[in-house]
């Protein structure tokens, strides 16, 4: 039966078609997807924090309403993705335990502090921009529930990216201090946003197999290249600069040459030692504990509904 399952799986992948939850799949495929989708879900949930910290300090009612909507979208993305991960067999409680106990990874980017209002602009423009560059190809991921979730997520991310760009544009056209604040935010988020795409291809243990399975469609470096090519043009519209004097397009190699990223810092951040890792996890644990009564009430209500039907 396993051999028939594998043959059918191979056929579906070869046709670039979709694997659904009830289909047979190799254990490695299930494990890789559970890892990637749950890490992605954790990132959305932890990623609410740097921006949520600014909701009370947004400079106008309009900005506050937009930022609140954006942070709520991220919560929705997290829930969507946990549901997609659960279809692979690991219950949400277990995924959540992995996050709260510090065993699970989540995106490096959310371990950096958001210091000024301009950071809301840089996060929207650069962080959500990088997320879109990475996630648009994931709409075609071979696992059905993941690919479908990505379609909706990407639409909302586009709105997030534009709102960030617009914050920066307004600051860049404001007073000299405001422009400086925008430039400073771009300077701090440039490198960490390039690191969101993951280690260089030579140090990416998962890429090859994930591409063979049609989960990833491009390598980490390919996507990083695309992203740099996009922001290099957009930054001109802002009237700001990227903090990378070495940045240039090499015609012969057909690629962007950017500065060497600090991969030691990246390794420290993804192993729990970034500037805000401890704070982010502590805050998440606290929110989980404070939300216990909601989960209990929901479970009690669901149990009563089942009783009524029976
Ligand atoms: N932050 C944290 N961990 C990372 C990052 C990063 N920026 N980049 C790579 N890693 C981890 C990988 O998850 C992998 O972890 P493991 O030890 O559990 O295997 C390890 O470093 C090695 O990297 P790769 O072999 O390159 O891993 P992978 O093939 O999974 O590629 C990538 C990494 C590109 C992030 C991929 O998992 C992906 O596309 N994920 C979905 C998108 C996502 O999670 N986005 C979250 C941020 S966007 C947002 O939430 C707004």
Residues 136-171 have pLDDT tens digits of: 999 999 999 999 999 999 999 999 999 999 999 999
Q: Provide the pLDDT for residue 83.
A: 98
Does 134 contact ligand 1 (Cβ within 6 A)?
yes
Residue-wise pLDDT tens digits, 179-226: 999 999 999 999 999 999 999 999 999 999 999 999 999 999 999 999
34: closest CA among 99, 87, 97? Answer: 87
Does 270 contact ligand 1 (Cβ within 6 A)?
yes
Owner of token pair 């600051």: 171
Is the pLDDT reported for residue 1 higher than 90? no
Q: Pick the residue whose CA is nearest to atom 41 on ligand 1.
A: 40
- Compute the chain's Rg from CA coordinates: 21
109: closest CA among 127, 135, 132? Answer: 127
Q: Provide the pLDDT for residue 245.
A: 93
**pTM, whole model, 2 decimals?**
0.96
Q: Pick the residue whose CA is nearest to atom 36 on ligand 1.
A: 36
What gap in Å lies between CA 241 and CA 224, rounded to an integer? 18
Is the pLDDT reported for residue 260 higher than 90? yes
What gap in Å lies between CA 241 and CA 264, rounded to an integer? 25
Q: How far is CA 128 from the centre of its chain?
A: 8
> Using alpha carbons only, what angle is made at residue 136 by residues 131 and 138, rounded to the nearest 5 degrees?
95
* Candidate from 112, 134, 191, 206 with most ligand 1 atoms within 8 A of CB, to mutate: 206
Q: How many angstroms separate the alpha carbon of residue 12 from the centre of ligand 1?
A: 25
Q: Where are the beta strands (DSSP E) in the chain?
A: 248-250, 255-257
Does 108 contact ligand 1 (Cβ within 6 A)?
yes
Q: How far is CA 277 from the centre of its chain?
A: 16
84: closest CA among 48, 38, 46, 44? Answer: 38
What gap in Å lies between CA 229 and CA 32, rounded to an integer? 29
């Amino acid at each position: 039966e396993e051999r028939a399952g594998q043959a059918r799986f191979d056929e579906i992948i070869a046709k670039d078609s979709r694997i659904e939850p009830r289909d047979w799949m190799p254990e490695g495929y299930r494990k890789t997807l559970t890892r990637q989708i749950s890490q992605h879900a954790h990132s959305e949930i932890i990623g609410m924090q740097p921006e949520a910290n600014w909701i009370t300090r947004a400079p106008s009612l309009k900005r506050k309403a937009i930022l609140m909507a954006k942070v709520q979208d991220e919560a929705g993305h997290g829930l969507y993705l946990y549901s997609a991960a659960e279809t692979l067999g690991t219950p949400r409680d277990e995924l959540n335990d992995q996050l709260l106990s510090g065993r699970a990874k989540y995106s490096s980017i959310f371990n950096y502090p958001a210091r000024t209002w301009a950071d809301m602009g840089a996060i929207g423009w650069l962080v959500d921009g990088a997320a879109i560059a990475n996630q648009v190809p994931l709409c075609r991921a071979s696992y059905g529930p993941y690919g479908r979730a990505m379609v909706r997520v990407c639409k909302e991310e586009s709105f997030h990216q534009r709102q960030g760009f617009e914050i920066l544009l307004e600051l860049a056209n404001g007073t000299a201090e405001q422009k400086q604040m925008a430039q400073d935010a771009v300077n701090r988020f440039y490198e960490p946003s390039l690191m969101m795409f993951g280690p260089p291809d030579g140090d990416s243990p998962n890429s090859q197999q994930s591409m063979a399975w049609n989960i990833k469609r491009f390598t980490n470096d390919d996507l990083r290249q695309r992203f740099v090519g996009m922001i290099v043009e957009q930054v001109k519209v802002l009237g700001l600069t990227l903090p990378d004097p070495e940045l240039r397009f090499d015609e012969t190699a057909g690629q962007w040459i950017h500065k060497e990223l600090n991969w030691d810092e990246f390794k420290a951040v993804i192993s729990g030692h970034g500037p805000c890792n401890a704070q982010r996890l502590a805050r998440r644990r606290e929110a989980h504990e404070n939300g216990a009564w909601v989960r209990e009430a929901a479970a009690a209500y669901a149990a009563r509904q089942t009783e009524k039907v029976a």
